[in-house]
Structure 1
Amino acid sequence: MKRRSLLALSLAMTLLPQTLWAVAPAKREIVIGTTVGDFADMVNDAVKPQLEAKGYRVKLVEFTDYVSPNLALADGSLDVNCFQHKPYLDRFATERGLSLTPLTQVPTGPMGLYAGKKQRLTELAQGSSVALPNDPSNQARALLLLQDLGWLRLKEGIDPLKASEFDVVANPHGLKWVLLEAAQLPRAREDVDFVVINGNFAASSGIPFQSGLFLERGYTFINWVVVRSEDKEKPFAKDVAEAYNSAAFRAYAKGRFAGYKWPQAWGKGE
């Protein structure tokens, strides 16, 4: 009897972790981090209601920088974030040793060159000042925009997604770079001649895209919803992706975010 009792106890202890895992409650709260403005509005207006209808509690945390949201996601303070394009995610995750995975694209306002003290492109003069984002990925993005505009030329053979002001080999107008946090750029318009502003911060500051003097091209810099890699197949992550790609979200986005780039998965004409 004693041996049988010990055997039964050993078996029970072996099965206990599996049993606890099997009856563990499903995740019911999702904490989503975004930058202020349009990505936060998307959560509050169209994503949160869908997730709440499925029984989740949804908490939104808003950030004004591009560093904290990924660190908060990696340390578990967030379950999801939405604020960044894939080149930035890839570089940040590699440099910090983080395991983060893009889940689905979201409507994204284009980066653009906007008027500061000078109102038109034809007012460009020798030594004009141009404010740019100071984080490496978005600074590179801004320099590519200015190269497309013809205001500068970058070093040949350089990875364009890693370009900095030190890689500018032709600056015929002697432009002066003013590097600022992306969230501060809309407020810099009174202090510089021209300013390059990320789409989400232009939108949150009430700056219409159609007022841009020049807008970026292509889809390299469309933004993504991101989760920890270990969570990408979990039910809550799939529910989040489903909410962002639902017919209701698409209808909301088309009415609310005119001029944005749509997720490529939505197809043409959306």
Structure 2
Amino acid sequence: MKKLVWVVTIALLLSACSKGEAKKEQNNDAKTITIGATAGPYSDQLKEGIAPLLKEEGYELKVVEFHDYIQPNNALEEGDIDANLYQNRLYLTNFNKEKGTHLHYLFAVPSAPIALYSTTHQSLDDVKEGMTITLPNDTVNLARSLNMLQNYGWITVNPDIDHVTVSEKDITENPLNLVIKPLDAAATARSLDDADFAFVNGNYAIASGLKFTEAVDVEQTSEDFLIYLAIREGDENEDFVKALQKVYESDAFYEYTKEHAKGYVLPPYQQEREAK
């Protein structure tokens, strides 16, 4: 019986030591910030522009790359990452509503605009009956693309539908009988081999080697459609959040943006610097 008591006691002590070691390791890792981003310009922005500045603030930055628009928010909601960087605030608001998540957008970052590309046409005037146009299929970016098509006079959408949730089903007039094909956002750049025109989100355009100067048309991006850093609700006052905001608003990151993000739409805090 005494042997059994000693075995149990030793097991409990070993378990406590193991937990203590794990806690110690966790504490040692407390100054690491893990951010999810889509592969391409926003992960590059974090690695090249933000990580060195965070290091000066005492933080190591770990970037986890994703290849779709769903998993980064799921990972953030589940606590696998501390923040993510890939979406505009309307997309996040709609995601929270549809998925029941509890995520919060913080501030905008230098953002690559959505643009219309073609490998065979140089101008909007080249449009002809029956042409195929591909566009992102997520709610917000689909609506952005359709609104641009309406501005060109190529289609008309139902005016009673909210302009940020309109879909291809809300097209009421299509005088040129255009073939409107929503695709996964990551596939729109690849679709240029088959489509006459394609709307490509800025991050995927840059990742695919497309240049803004080569676009047939570039969106005049409003603040609603800038890319925002997102966190979980309740983390707004955490030290790592304050550190992120400090480095994004710094002189050093502004200089990085001017050198490495030409053609991007600047967030308000950088626009103020431009106006000086």
Same fold (TM over 0.5): yes
1: CA distance, partners of 2:68 / 2:29: 32
Give the structure 2 partner of residue 104 of structure 1: 107
Paired residues, number: 248
Give the structure 1 partner of residue 79 of structure 2: 76
Matched, 1:183 2:150: no
2: CA distance, partners of 1:26 / 1:123: 56
Residue number among 16, 31, 35 corresponding to 2:34 in the alignment: 31
Give the structure 2 partner of residue 140 of structure 1: 143
Q: Which moved more, 1:47-56 or 1:66-75?
A: 47-56
Residue number among 224, 228, 242 corresponding to 1:238 in the alignment: 242
2: CA distance, partners of 1:260 / 1:217: 11
Per-residue CA deviation, residues 209-268 of structure 1 (Å, 9 max, x unaligned), is 011111112413111001101111111111011111111111101111111110012234
Counterpart of 2:234 in structure 1: which amino acid?
Answer: E
Residue number among 56, 59, 62 corresponding to 2:59 in the alignment: 56
Give the structure 2 partner of residue 44 of structure 1: 47
Matched, 1:222 2:249: no
Give the structure 2 partner of residue 151 of structure 1: 154
The answer as to whether partners of 2:54 and 2:247 remain within 8 angstroms in 1 is yes
The answer as to whether partners of 2:113 and 2:221 remain within 8 angstroms in 1 is no
Deviation, 1:269, is 6.1
Matched, 1:174 2:181: no
Distance 1:115 1:92, change over 3 A: same
Per-residue CA deviation, residues 147-200 of structure 1 (Å, 9 max, x unaligned), is 122211110121000000011111111110122111111111111111000011
Question: Pairwise CA RMSD of aligned residues?
Answer: 1.7
Matched, 1:260 2:264: yes
Give the structure 2 partner of residue 165 of structure 1: 168
The unaligned stretches of length 5 or more in structure 1 are: 1-23
Listed as ranges, the matches of 1:193-212 within 5 Å are 193-212=196-215
Counterpart of 1:206 in structure 2: which amino acid?
Answer: G
Deviation, 1:109, is 1.2
The answer as to whether partners of 1:130 and 1:193 remain within 8 angstroms in 2 is yes
Per-residue CA deviation, residues 73-95 of structure 1 (Å, 9 max, x unaligned), is 00001101000001100000111
Give the structure 1 partner of residue 92 of structure 2: 89
Deviation, 1:96, is 1.1
The answer as to whether partners of 1:145 and 1:215 remain within 8 angstroms in 2 is no
The answer as to whether partners of 2:139 and 2:165 remain within 8 angstroms in 1 is yes
TM-score by length of 2: 0.86
Give the structure 2 partner of residue 16 of structure 1: none
Counterpart of 2:252 in structure 1: which amino acid?
Answer: A
The answer as to whether partners of 1:27 and 1:236 remain within 8 angstroms in 2 is no
Deviation, 1:25, is 7.6
2: CA distance, partners of 1:134 / 1:103: 25
The unaligned stretches of length 5 or more in structure 2 are: 1-26
Deviation, 1:122, is 2.4
Counterpart of 2:230 in structure 1: which amino acid?
Answer: V
